[in-house]
């Protein structure tokens, strides 16, 4: 055997071992059950095979618009106060249905120019109209409104994906649904606790650290009574754990402006407090830490309120300047709640709440039936093809059968390696269809080559010459059919969703593997067979 052929055989054996490792890794046992366990550990199954949860969510985008409108109102009040522009009221007439609409009342005509300059310079996304009866209307420009709502959906998808990824769910589908306004499709294969996942997904987790101005009070009425029934300017009345060490909810006044917020977080982790209770420790970014240091330096002796989703979680006294570390405890958190909260904080806050429109659970029994049917169809089809090739092409049929088996090993090995690499390409029921179609394309490639070889043999060529001519003539046709099919599969992958992508993935990689096995592997085996034959000995084909 010449060295070139030996190197080719060694390369093929090395490739097969590489992909066999992708399928099984190093199994704990070589028994059937041990190999099956190793296989299922390395190849992840999709929602249709493994079972799981299918959800359709809708982002309440008006809430995101409301947040922008509230900030705009605060900006207007601040700027009008600085420029000494009198007004009687600034409100949103219909925050639920028209959150982008703001009305300013009581602005005198002589302040018209100053007001319009404020809107032009500080709120360029708003158009201002009116002036009759000293009433002005602000409405967000349509292009800005559409952009804001679309960004809310995109941000919600990113946040949900971060939270799902942190849970370790393999091959989740998280994307715009496209069949309704601001809807998101979420498919979670193998999720056995959909309630917990839903809680984590819909948690807003908006963290703010504010100055506690006054309190605690036992009730909202008591707090308002202490201030003459009016919430002081630049203050907010909140409930929660306003009394340090108390487990009963109380009320307190906190500043409207946050010292730092969730966007300043660098990390958040589960921890325990000084009493050994579950808590969440966090650190701030450099900029946030510097801002927090400046704030705490100026408020030593005052109280800080850690506010989560507009609820006071903890109050602590500032004993010395704090730069970039803090913790959230209280509220009798369990370890699981502390773990989930740290995960939610790391993933960022949702721009708006989400509403569940549809929830379906795919049972594991349906997935098991699908697996059995799919595997049975694949095995029966594969065995029938192998037997046919052996009968029809005799000795060369062994060559074709090895190429097909190697093709399957490479394809499954690719799925296993994708899991180990963290890409998590899951096997779906359409993916099994892609595997079966790949087998069909592999058979077709072998038939093309073998028939060309037979044709050359009938024309009187010697076996080595017939094999060489057969592969040369069939090569262009094989490449042509495979490239066109791969292009079609790539289009399916780009524009398809979920299971369609699974079909495109297995088909694409199966065809790439087929080019290797049907041409390189098959030709190498032919060369090895011919190297063992005597001159003039016939080729079994």
Distance CA(156)–CA(348), nearest Å, equals 10
Q: How far apart are CA 297 and CA 313, in angstroms?
A: 22
More confident residue, 470 or 36: 470
Q: How buried is residue 456: exposed, middle or buried, by Cβ count under 10 Å (0-12/13-18/19+)?
A: buried
Q: b or e along 297-317 (b: 16 or more beta carbons within 10 Å of the residue's beta carbon)?
A: eeeeeebbbbbbeeebbbbbe
| pLDDT confidence bin for 141, thresholds 50/70/90 | very high
Name the CA dihedral angle for 441, 445, 446, 448, rounded to a multiple of 10 degrees: 130
pTM score of the predicted model? 0.57
> How high is the pLDDT of residue 11?
92
d(CA 430, CA 433): 5
How many whole angstroms separate alpha carbon 148 and alpha carbon 537?
77
- Asked if residues 63 and 206 have their Cβ atoms less than 8 Å apart, the reply is no
Instruction: Give me the pLDDT at residue 18, please.
Output: 92
Q: What is the mean pLDDT of residues 405-427?
A: 80
Average pLDDT over residues 360-379: 67
Query: Would you state the pLDDT for residue 87?
Result: 87
Spell 510-520 as b/e; 16+ CB within 10 A means b.
bbbbbbbbbbb
Q: Residue 264 has what DSSP assignment?
A: G
Whether residue 331 has pLDDT greater than 70: no
**Residues facing 45 on adjacent strands:** 427
Please report which confidence band the pLDDT of residue 101 belongs to, taking 50, 70 and 90 as the band edges. very high
Contacts of 310 (CB under 8 A, 6+ apart): 206, 238
pLDDT band at 169 (very low <50, low <70, confident <90, very high): confident
CA distance 101 to 95: 8
Query: pLDDT per residue over 505-541, tens digit each?
Result: 888 888 889 888 888 888 898 888 888 877 767 777 7
Q: What is the pLDDT of residue 1?
A: 63
Per-residue pLDDT for 366 more than 60?
no
What the block records as the tokens of 148 is 């804001």
Q: Is 130 helix (H, G, I), strand (E, B) or coil?
A: strand
Here the tokens at position 471 are: 């592969």
Q: Of the candidates 229, 300, 225, 220, which has an alpha carbon nearest to the alpha carbon of residue 252?
A: 220
Angle at the Cα of 171 from the Cα atoms of 168 and 177, rounded to 5 degrees: 115
Q: Band of the pLDDT at 244, cuts 50, 70, 90?
A: low
Residue 140 has a pLDDT of: 92
Q: Tell me how far apart the 2 most distant CA atoms of the chain are, in Å.
A: 112
Question: Of 524, 514, 530, nearest to 466 (Cα)?
Answer: 530
| Helix, strand, coil in percent for the chain, rounding step 5 | 55, 20, 25
Measured distance CA(240)–CA(280) in Å, rounded: 17
Average pLDDT of the residues of the chain: 80
Confidence grade of residue 424 (pLDDT, cut at 50, 70, 90): low
């Amino acid at each position: 055997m010449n060295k070139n052929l030996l190197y080719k055989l060694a390369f093929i054996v090395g490739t097969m071992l590489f992909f066999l490792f992708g399928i099984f890794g190093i199994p704990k046992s070589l028994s059937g059950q041990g190999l099956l366990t190793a296989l299922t550990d390395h190849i992840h199954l999709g929602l249709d095979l493994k079972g799981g949860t299918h959800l359709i969510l809708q982002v309440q985008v008006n809430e995101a618009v409301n947040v922008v409108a509230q900030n705009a109102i605060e900006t207007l009040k601040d700027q009008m106060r600085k420029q000494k522009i009198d007004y009687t009221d600034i409100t949103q007439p219909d925050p639920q249905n028209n959150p982008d609409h703001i009305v300013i009342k009581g602005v005198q005509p002589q302040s018209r120019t100053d007001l319009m300059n404020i809107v032009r310079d500080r709120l360029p996304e708003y158009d201002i109209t009116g002036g009759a009866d000293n009433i002005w209307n602000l409405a967000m420009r349509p292009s800005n409104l559409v952009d804001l709502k679309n960004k809310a959906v995109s941000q919600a998808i990113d946040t949900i994906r971060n939270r799902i990824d942190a849970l370790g769910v393999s091959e989740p589908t998280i994307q715009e649904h496209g069949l309704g306004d601001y809807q998101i499709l979420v498919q979670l294969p193998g999720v056995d606790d959909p309630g917990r996942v839903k809680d984590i997904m819909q948690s807003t987790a908006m963290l703010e650290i504010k100055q506690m101005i006054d309190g605690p009070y036992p009730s909202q009425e008591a707090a308002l009574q202490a201030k003459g029934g009016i919430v002081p300017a630049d203050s907010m009345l909140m409930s929660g754990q306003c009394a340090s060490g108390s487990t009963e909810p109380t009320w307190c006044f906190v500043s409207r402006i946050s010292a730092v917020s969730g966007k300043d977080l660098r990390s958040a982790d589960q921890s325990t407090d000084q009493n050994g209770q579950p808590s969440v420790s966090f650190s701030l970014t450099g900029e946030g830490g510097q801002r927090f240091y400046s704030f705490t330096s100026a408020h030593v002796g005052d109280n800080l309120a850690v506010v989560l989703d507009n609820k006071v979680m903890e109050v602590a006294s500032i004993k010395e300047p704090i730069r970039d570390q803090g913790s959230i405890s209280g509220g009798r958190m369990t370890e699981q709640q502390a773990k989930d909260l740290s995960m939610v904080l790391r993933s960022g806050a949702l721009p708006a709440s989400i509403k569940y429109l549809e929830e379906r659970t795919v049972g594991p029994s349906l997935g098991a039936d699908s697996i059995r049917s799919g595997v049975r169809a694949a095995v029966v089809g594969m065995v029938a093809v192998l037997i046919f090739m052996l009968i029809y092409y005799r000795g060369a049929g062994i060559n074709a059968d090895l190429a097909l088996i190697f093709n399957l090993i490479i394809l499954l090995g690719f799925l296993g390696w994708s899991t180990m690499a963290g890409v998590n390409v899951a096997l779906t029921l359409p993916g099994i269809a892609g595997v079966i179609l790949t087998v069909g394309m592999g058979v077709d490639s072998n038939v093309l080559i073998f028939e060309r070889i037979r044709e050359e043999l009938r024309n009187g060529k010697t076996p080595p010459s017939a094999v060489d001519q057969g592969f040369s003539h069939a090569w262009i046709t094989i490449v042509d059919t495979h490239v066109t099919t791969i292009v079609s599969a790539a289009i399916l992958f780009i524009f398809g969703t979920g299971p369609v992508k699974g079909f495109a993935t297995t088909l694409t990689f199966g065809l790439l593997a087929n080019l290797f096995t049907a041409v390189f592997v098959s030709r190498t085996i032919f060369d090895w067979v011919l190297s063992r034959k005597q001159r003039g000995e016939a080729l079994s084909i």
